[in-house]
A and B are shown apart, each in its own frame.
Chain A
Amino acid sequence: MSDWTVDELAYWDEKIIDVGVDLGLDWYDIDYEIIDYQEMLGAMAYTGLPTHYRHWSFGKEFERTHTLYNLGMTGLPYEMIINSNPSIAYLMRENPLSTHLLTMAHCVGHSDFFKQNRMFRYTNPDGIIGQFKVAAKYVRTLIEDPSIGIDRVEKILDAAHSIKYQVPRTPGIQYKSRDEWLLIQKRLMQLDPTYDVNLEKVPFEAEYNLLQFIGEHSRNLKDWERNLINIVEENSKYFIPQALTKIMNEGWACTIHQMIMNKMEVPDNLHLPFLKLHNQVVRPHLGQINPYHLGFELFQKIIKEEGFEEAKLIREVHDDMTFLRNYVDEEFVREQNLFTYSFKKDHKYNTIDDVGDRVGWKQVRAELIRNVGLNRVPIIYVDNLSSDFTLSLIHEHDGRDLDLKYAQKVFEYVQALWGDEVKLITEIENETWEF
């Protein structure tokens, strides 16, 4: 039986809010859904969203979490909150009160981050729940439509999911329209008669939004197929800011829950289990990067050296890349004992490449940044659409080769979506490789 009542939660909620306000935080109202284990698994499978369109991959995610949990390999998250206004967070009924306190304080941190960090400026927190609802309903209509059906819907979703991270990675940039670009080119031509550019080129600049481009330019897609592609693209856009700030977001939430819990007067019988859970959450994972740990340690360092007000400013303006670049220094790399490693094909095992000493720390930081969020996803852009509807894609090679087996499969998915000839060019072991 649980050791708490909803009234108790409300009592502590008020205290948490008071401390949060005192700290100068500004967050969305939070709606807590009290759910059980089964529902928690369900919520997790759909990344916390109360409504989501159907796809088998979410069933797979559910089973995966369920299995891991049954094997004791992972605990259920004590927190899950989505970026919306009001924020929706989940409390698992089976958890004790001390866990709920940590969760609620942690959620204040996340919600504050969602509202303040500039990466989230264009995520439409007011309308997002409705947007997902409409999408879910639309997909359901298609599945139930006898002339379409689940198989054809899945075919498009499977393919669209394969390139769902191939979207622009800098939220908020206003891209030039074709007309604006034409104006600039014409001006350049006037200024310099030798300046030559193909004004007919599509896309006029490298297009990083693969889903959008295919949805707009393929001549083989039906309207409902274009709509599905658009749904996946909108979905991705919503999650991009979270992928860009995973370390900061978790680090900030951990910092906040710790501050709130320390400032509130919490009896020992709640505070001790809280400390235990907190230490579990922010512990380093051997051989890996635990974003909770890394983010928390960095914010601790910043608060110690520059104060909480500065930390608040940082949570507003940075994303993970700039955060790490600015605040990970030699001392930090050494203290955290960070290292880089890679798989050596010749030996068939991993060896350590660099460690946090005077020579190596910069390399370690550089690799850390290359491994953060979307930097682990290769960049593929649309280079050209020719008059015979051949779609040319280029992989922006940054030293890391693509996994060919996976790339081949994705290539086939893109072909299926596009319906005409597709080319994909990359570099494998310093040689040009064309699919």
Chain B
Amino acid sequence: MSVFREHKSIVDRAASDRARHKKKIDRAIKESIKDVVAEESIIGQNGKKKIRIPVRGLREYRFIFGKNENNKNVGTAGDHDIHRGQKIGKKRAEKAEGQGQGQGGNEAGEEYYDVEVTLEELAEYLFNDLQLPDLEKKKFRFISQESIKRKGYRFKGIRPRLSKKETIKRKIRRKKMAIAAGTYDPNSEERFPFHKNDLKYHHIKPKEKDHSSAVVFFLMDVSGSMTKERKYLARSFFFLLYQFLRYKYERIEVVFISHSTDASRVNEDEFFKKGTVGGTLVSTALDLELEIIDKEYHPNSWNLYTFYAGDGENWSADNEIALEKFKSLKELSQLTVYCEINEHLTAMYPDELAGTGGAFEWAEVSTWKDEDPASLWGVLNPCADKDFKRVTIAEPQHIWKAFSTIFGGQT
């Protein structure tokens, strides 16, 4: 005769281990998000939309055999006809990896979790960790504004601030006391009127509130040399910047300006999709921005950010003009960034290339770029400082690097 035990209460015994696992996953998400920022799927989404992020599971590493010809698997083919050398479906082969695990589970299967987060959460994950040095915090300016807030009650006040609730409370209290003292008979016809002492007023206090709003100018070269790939990099970069600033400011507006030999203010869609042929005059875009600032965004009430992305080409005659315009933008803006997008610049990121040989040091390349007076990069030498930064992007992995360069205090 066997024993049957019915459990009446539900014991969630895995709860603490699950919580611990969750914590580890959170940490892993933070790691993966940096790779995800450049993924097309998240670019250009609005903040509430949920996006799926594949997070590599927390592997439990063991000694296992690698995937190769000497490591054979066995399966049954059911009713199917099979022959040697037959290629078998990837799907089936992957599924087959789960087989024969028993207690010795050991296949190097990729473990992925899909985690759903909103863009806002993503921004939090991303930027919470980014400890900005004090110096950099100045890049975010808060404009103070006075607002008025109710706080407590007073016996004196003006009529509009009368608190009906407090007043009636006091009247009721007084009435009860009167009944208890026998000075008032509740059954009588007599009214129990308000007294002057019942009146209470809201007290108000002016409050200083940091009100922050920013406008971001995204400027991009859309001339013939800006290929689809380059634009994509620019877009990813802009997206990240936008998310970051939006995370920092209560209110944020975006202006898109695209230019080739002349500039125009466009909407987001046109900005990333429209392409033109022809040459490049950077100054036209800067001109337009200055004009828009003048008309719509006064620097006293707006924090201005200017991000320019291009492939580094400009008509040489325009370089000096562009420098002057950049200088005046720099004066107005909290931060101005010049971003050069060029897939030939891979060598600028030594970390990425560590051990691959033949990589230039970052410093070397920027010096070399600095010394090339003909290039736009070189021309901009005089204004490069903590408020005017230059970065380069050659491939998606550089986006996060460029981002941390801008907000991490390096010039």
A interface residue numbers (CB < 8 A to B): 6, 9-10, 13-14, 17, 29-36, 38-39, 41-42, 45-46, 54-60, 62-63, 86, 91, 104, 150, 154, 158, 161-166, 239-240, 242-243, 246, 284-291, 293, 336-345, 347, 349-355, 360, 364, 367-368, 370-374, 376-378, 380, 395, 399-407, 409-410, 413
Give chain A residues whose Cβ lies under 8 Å from the Cβ of B52: none
Give chain A residues whose Cβ lies under 8 Å from the Cβ of B7: 33-36, 39
Given contacts A60-B21, A377-B62, contact A352 B72 (CB under 8 A): no
Q: Contact between A287 and B11 (Cβ–Cβ < 8 Å)?
A: no
Q: Does B5 contact A (CB under 8 A)?
A: yes
Give chain B residues whose Cβ lies under 8 Å from the Cβ of A39: 7, 10-11, 13
Whole-angstrom CA separation of A290 from B67 in the bound complex: 21
* Dominant secondary structure of chain B at its interface with chain A: loop
Partner of A352, one of B68, B84, B95: B84
Give chain B residues whose Cβ lies under 8 Å from the Cβ of A165: 62-63, 103-104, 106
**Which of A38, A161, A286, A347 has its CB near the most chain B CB atoms (within 10 A)?**
A286
Give chain B residues whose Cβ lies under 8 Å from the Cβ of A32: 2-5
Give chain A residues whose Cβ lies under 8 Å from the Cβ of B64: 376-378, 402-403, 406
B210 CB to closest chain A CB (Å) equals 38
Give chain A residues whose Cβ lies under 8 Å from the Cβ of B90: 349-350
Q: Does B131 contact A (CB under 8 A)?
A: no
Residue of A nearest to B62 (CB): A162
* Dominant secondary structure of chain A at its interface with chain B: mixed
Q: Contact between B17 and A59 (Cβ–Cβ < 8 Å)?
A: yes
Q: Contact between B17 and A341 (Cβ–Cβ < 8 Å)?
A: no
Residue of A nearest to B9 (CB): A39
Whole-angstrom CA separation of A154 from B20 in the bound complex: 10
Whole-angstrom CA separation of A63 from B65 in the bound complex: 26
Q: Contact between A351 and B87 (Cβ–Cβ < 8 Å)?
A: yes
* Interface bits B53-79 vs A (CB < 8 Å: 1, else 0): 000011111111111111111111111
Q: Contact between A29 and B3 (Cβ–Cβ < 8 Å)?
A: yes
Q: Contact between B99 and A288 (Cβ–Cβ < 8 Å)?
A: yes
Q: Does B356 contact A (CB under 8 A)?
A: no
Whole-angstrom CA separation of A413 from B63 in the bound complex: 11
Whole-angstrom CA separation of A31 from B3 in the bound complex: 5
* Interface bits B321-348 vs A (CB < 8 Å: 1, else 0): 0000000000000000000000000000
**Which of B21, B59, B78 has its CB near the most chain A CB atoms (within 10 A)?**
B21
Q: Contact between A59 and B22 (Cβ–Cβ < 8 Å)?
A: yes
Residue of A nearest to B106 (CB): A376
Given contacts A60-B57, A338-B75, contact A355 B84 (CB under 8 A): yes
Give chain B residues whose Cβ lies under 8 Å from the Cβ of A86: 3
B171 CB to closest chain A CB (Å) equals 55
Whole-angstrom CA separation of A34 from B98 in the bound complex: 29
Partner of B71, one of A154, A239, A338, A400: A400
